[in-house]
Structure 1
Amino acid sequence: MPKITLLSVALCAFVLSAVIPFMEISNSHLFNPEWPSHARLHEAWQLIANAAISILAFILVWKRIAPRLGIVLGLILSASFLTAWAAGPLYGGSMVHSDGTNFTIGGISVVVVGVTIIAGLLLLGWRALSQNGGVSK
């Protein structure tokens, strides 16, 4: 298994099952009293589903059950976030928190930058896997 393949899916799983929940299980998101209860339900659902799918993706790669599927799952999760971000103006979505904070790098949300990097690493992982046919090195 190419190292980049395993590392990219591991990073994706870590971010989606630990980092994002750590940031969003707070008053800024899940427990935000300004959010309707229905929005909080969707937030909890998104956190649980993304964590579960990303952990499954990692297992599929780590155990060599279906590494390409694992990468595809990571790419789907990354691409769906980036699509939601890009489409934000259509539905009033924003990376700006309710308290007005928005952490940026060069004017772009650090989360968007991070997810873009993860997607790029996943693509490199796919390429490396394809180049060696999935054989361990």
Structure 2
Amino acid sequence: MKNSSGCGCADSVITIFQGDAYLAIDDRALCIDSAGCAWPPAMVAVSLILDPVSGGCGCPFNSAIAIDGTIIDSGAAAGPIKACFDLTSERTNQLALGHHAYRYRVVAQTINGNRVTLDAGRVSVR
């Protein structure tokens, strides 16, 4: 799995290994950063949305999976902002194996209630 830098219209590819844990405590959380992008400055919440490519994927989740994340501001005036998500081994075990098995979106809510897509792409599960 790699961390991604996305700008909302990018088509990034992330690889997740089934049964592996991606946790902030281990410094392995899935993080998307704002490098080179214009993310809104006043985000109050962020979510990772995983949509199965095929509704009949055979996985426990046949609808979108939403994972709440954490917004991490570097504190630097022009430094990147990160949206980080913990995925437990139990969660990754529930994902269906497959090349580009899911589409993902990173969606933020701004302080005024608007929802914006920060990044989007595909997820392969091995």
TM normalised by structure 1 equals 0.26
Structure with a larger share of its residues in helix: 1
Larger radius of gyration: 1
TM normalised by structure 2 equals 0.28
